[in-house]
Amino acid sequence: MKGPLKFKRRPATALVAMANSLSMGDAVPGDELRQIIGAVVSDRAERAALLAALRASNDPDCGLAVADLLTAYASDAAEAEAQARDADQVIGQWAQRLAAGALLASFGAAIAGTVTGGLAFGLTLLSFSGFVFATASRIGGRGKMRRRGQDRDSADSLARHVLEAGKLKKEGK
């Protein structure tokens, strides 16, 4: 990585530029930074490009700034994951149980003859569709939770690798 190696403008170099700019006291919009980090963290080529760019950089503190940004992103993702898990366990699970209970109750009322005819059919249909809807929304919420978990893990590992790359560079390897 020695010599005047030129890098392309891509999310990885944009992240290095933003981290450098932040360490010099310039403001960088938070949503742009988040979007760039998300793009770098989720793409293998960008991760490799980030490590290469940091090893080629002349400023040893640049890697530290990038690693700090990545760790902050990982902790944000962990927070979002915890919120999604809470919503799933507190709301999603009980919505599903409530709908399943209503379905059983409508079956029971229809079998016992308390509710008959079209009303019984309508109730069963309503509670069944409620159960399906609750299950679908839970699946959606859990998908988001999993994505957040992946984001957190990859940002964490990338931050570790960035710090390792900085150490190797300092040792001249």
Partner 1 sequence: MIWNFQLSSPILAVQPEKRMFEAMGLETVIVSTIIGACALSFGASAYLFMRARPQPAAKDLEKIVKNAPYHRLHNVLKVEANS
Q: What is the per-residue binding string for partner 1 in 93-132, x denoting contact by CB under 8 A?
A: -xxx-xx-xx--xx--x----xx---x---x--xx--xx-
Instruction: Report the amino acid identity of residue 125.
Output: L
Distance CA 173, CA 169 (A): 6
The Cα-based distances of 81 to 5, 10, 29, 42, 151 in angstroms read: 39, 28, 23, 16, 10
In the list 41, 51, 88, 152, the residue contacting partner 1 (rule: CB under 8 A) is 88
Token pair, residue 31, equals 């949503």
CA 59 distance to own-chain centroid: 30
Residue 16, SS3 per DSSP = helix
Stretch of residues binding partner 1 (CB under 8 A), selected from 51-59, 71-79, 157-165: 51-59
Binding site for partner 1 (CB under 8 A): 4-11, 13-14, 16-18, 20-21, 24, 26, 28-29, 31-32, 35-36, 39, 53, 56-59, 62, 84, 87-88, 91-92, 94-96, 98-99, 101-102, 105-106, 109, 114-115, 119, 123, 126-127, 130-131, 133-134, 136-138, 140-141, 143-144
